[in-house]
Amino acid sequence: MVQIEQDILAKNNTFAQANRQTLAQRGIFALNLVSSPGSGKTTLLCKTIALLGQLPVAVIEGDQQTSQDADRIRATGAPAIQINTGKGCHLDAHMVGHAMQQLDLANSSLLMIENVGNLVCPAAFDLGEAHKVVILSVTEGEDKPIKYPDMFRAASLMLLNKTDLLPYLDYDVDAAVSYARRVNPTIRVIQISATRGDGMDEWLAFLREGVAQA
């Protein structure tokens, strides 16, 4: 089983490196958005696209079934392609590479990959992205980072989403941040509400800076 896992990851990493080289050559800043189901990833993406203005954005959507999320993204005017994984629990670099070829990606743009809702499998698979961004909503447990440490260890940024609901919940924000930094001391945290707009300026600044550096 160990040998099989090594073989699968080695093949994936070869495709990921090819994706990374293509993105670097064209100055495209790519993010891999990961979370549990229902964290608010698609709503956050739609709000983000609307607020970014003239910055070109494309989206790769990963789900087991349906094209509903990609349809929501396209309604914002951004190009999006849906990858349905069937029984698969994550996107891999080969899938993403094919999707990149089908999307009309602009140079010096932003590519956001919304992975399948799952805090386990996507942690191990490099897609060629600049960063993994893990989204944790306040409707989940504060201890998610220590229950699923591989994902939070792999992420550069944690977005603590749905903070507009905090007055109605018994949720310990400090504990959630502390748990995340226990497994990843360097992880950056932005508290955010995609629906109310809290924290969006900091998130947008992160995106614009990443595109400028790419």
Q: What is the 3-state secondary structure (H, E, C) of 106-117?
A: CCCCEEEEECCC
* Beta-carbon contacts of residue 91 (< 8 Å; ≥ 6 apart): 60, 62, 83, 85, 113, 115, 116, 122, 125, 127
When the pLDDT of each residue in the chain is averaged and rounded to a whole number, the result is: 94
pTM of the predicted model as reported, rounded to 2 decimal places: 0.93
Q: Are 120 and 148 in contact (CB under 8 A)?
A: yes
Looking at the predicted structure, is the pLDDT value of residue 56 above 60? yes
Q: Say how far apart CA 63 and CA 40 lie, in whole Å.
A: 14
- Please check whether the domain covering 2-213 is classified as CATH 3.40.50.300: yes
- Classify strands 131-137 and 188-191 as parallel, antiparallel or unpaired: unpaired
Confidence of residue 67 (pLDDT cuts 50, 70, 90): confident
Task: Compute CA distances 168 → 1, 33, 90, 138, 171, whole Å.
Answer: 46, 26, 32, 10, 9
- For the chain, the structural domain boundaries read 2-213
What pLDDT does 78 receive? 94
What pLDDT does 2 receive? 60
Rg, Å, the chain Cα set: 16
pLDDT tens digits for range 115-146: 999 999 999 999 999 999 999 999 999 999 99
Residue type, 210: G
Rounded mean pLDDT, 37-59: 94
The percent of residues in the chain predicted with pLDDT above 90, rounded, is: 86
